[in-house]
Structure 1
Amino acid sequence: MALRQQILSSALPLLPTHSFTRSTLSQALRSLKPQVSNSDGVIDTIFGNGSVAPSRALVDAWQEEGLRAMSSSKETKEDLGDVLKRRITYSAGVGEHLVEAYANLTTPSSTPSIPLPSIPILRTLLSTVKIPPSYVPPALQPSNPPTPTSASSILDQMTNATGHRIPLSSINPLGPLSYAWRIADEALFLNEQKGKVQGSVRRGYWNEPTGPGPEWYTKRIGLSIVYLASESALLQPYPVGSTTTMNPYLDKSLAALDTNLERYKSILSSLERSEENMGDVANFVDYVARSWGGLIKSRYL
């Protein structure tokens, strides 16, 4: 096993107490390789500099392990509710740090920025603006009082710190949706395809081979919303004085899952009945068209 995978595997059990942080990876590395003196340098080499990339790698590994935790030892189809309950229980295992996992999912891999335009007139105007020094209590004032600072010097400090670029704050709203989509896709696979003999071709009303229909996407979108709505109960702040690592809102989240799944199945059943009705209409239209075709031919028209 590669060192990267070893570090991630050793870091996963530390999540309930150390969260999705770079230091968690460093601690996992030290437990694997005590002889390594510069653990930060190794983490930089394997996962990248800063805190975003290492934390995101840890979140991704946690997601992959969560997908594996959804399956049981059964070799046949599994109950949809049981599969999702196992996944929510897995999420509850990281305790209050689940919020940080969501924060990492919404954090973009890089911060976009735009070049700071050079406007000499603006800089000249700012140089005439004097900003008074910050307040200092009389007892702490130095013997030589600080002089006012020009606004242009503050602008210079900001541009030098940002590399003469203006950073733009942004979030990735698709992160949690992609996270829930993968869970929904895995749950539906375990519920519909596990143990099923592959090779059958899905066909339409006229026996033509078809790919995934609208219901394939509808199921996954609906189940993604069901899962996010249910797991959101785990994101509530912990009660004051709580010392448990297991999320105290697990029972509430599982109860919400039962309720949301019932609504999901009810809506899905209504859609399936609508599809059957559409199929009956299509068959009727086909029957009428064939009848008219036969009638026209019999009349030599």
Structure 2
Amino acid sequence: MASSPIQLLRTAVPLVQTYGFSRSLLAHAYTLGSPNANDVPRQPLSDAALRALFGAGDAPERALFGEWLRVGLEDMRNDASTSTTGDRHAQLNSLLLRRLEWNTPALSHLPSAFRHWTALAAPTTTQLHIPLPTLPFRNPMPIFKHTLDVADEALVITGDSSRGPEWYARRAALATIYGIAESHQLQSSSPRDGSAQVLLSRMLEEANRARLARDDVLGFSDYLLRSIQGIARSSGAFVR
């Protein structure tokens, strides 16, 4: 039965698709589990108890969202296709598609969750010349970290052996591709709309062609970002 903060969060994550990233879900998650015959039925946690476990303000909701993101990375490791094919491009495509699918059940709750998650962080300027989505994020840095985490996980799972500038270029490319596809998904009108998945696969294919065609890292990065931006704009992923 959920008792520690991590157990409580893990119990709540599967219910996010129904109840959202709410403190009421965390309070209710405490009552779930398989009690022993002699256990007294548990009541939902009070606000005071949630503050004691996670901190004041919206810390409980932020902890739940953070745990949901971490479990999404863990879910990528369960992609069986990474052990059945030696095609690294196909593996990356499958892994990133699986991460988009992780979003699908909770899709109606995600736009507000991402906005809330980024609104509380102090605005930070960045020199990254990346075609950013037009969602109203006050501070994009948490989004950059999220997409880089997804890219890192995909590269680790596929055993990428790149080093130095090549690794950073591949990491940035994957993070950008995933970020654009996810922003498109968050603006979708239906969880059954598969256009984000199609967009992701198109951009990955373009990235693979660019990598094979260009040996220099800077040339590859510049060409890739311009190509991705063109694909994203033509798909409607950005508001022009």
Asked if Structure 1 and Structure 2 have the same fold, meaning a TM-score greater than 0.5 normalized by the shorter chain, the answer is yes
Indicate yes or no: 2:87 matched with 1:67: no
State the shift of 1:176 in Å: 0.7
Structure 2, unmatched stretches of 5+, are 34-39, 124-136, 218-240
Deviations 1:169-215 (A, max 9, x none): x933201110000000111111225xx9xxxxx8xxxxxxxxx4111
Larger radius of gyration: 1
Indicate yes or no: 2:22 matched with 1:16: no
SS in 1 for 2:56: coil
Instruction: From 269, 274, 289, give the equivalent of 2:216.
Output: 274
1:263 maps to 206
SS in 2 for 1:35: coil
Indicate yes or no: 2:106 matched with 1:98: no
Instruction: From 31, 55, 80, give the equivalent of 2:92.
Output: 80
**Are residues 269 and 34 of structure 1, via their aligned partners in 2, closer, same or farther at CA, if it must alter by over 3 Å?**
farther
Indicate yes or no: 2:30 matched with 1:29: yes
State the shift of 1:268 in Å: 2.2
TM-score by length of 1: 0.57
State the shift of 1:110 in Å: 7.6
Q: 2-side partners of 1:217 and 1:265: how far apart?
A: 15
Alignment of 1:1-301 (within 5 A): 3-32=4-33, 34-36=41-43, 38-51=45-58, 53-71=59-77, 72-73=79-80, 75=83, 79-108=91-120, 171-193=138-160, 212-236=163-187, 238=189, 247-249=191-193, 251-271=194-214, 273-274=215-216
| Aligned partners of 2:62 and 2:117 also within 8 Å | yes
**Identity of matched residues, %:** 30
1:151 maps to none
Q: 1-side partners of 2:5 and 2:122: how far apart?
A: 22
TM-score by length of 2: 0.70
Q: 2-side partners of 1:218 and 1:231: how far apart?
A: 20
Moved over 6 A (4+): none
Q: 1-side partners of 2:65 and 2:42: how far apart?
A: 27
| Aligned partners of 1:59 and 1:104 also within 8 Å | no
Q: 2-side partners of 1:262 and 1:236: how far apart?
A: 23
**How many residues were matched structurally?**
191
State the shift of 1:217 in Å: 0.7
The structure with the largest helix share of the pair is 2
| Aligned partners of 2:3 and 2:30 also within 8 Å | no
Amino acid aligned to 1:235: L
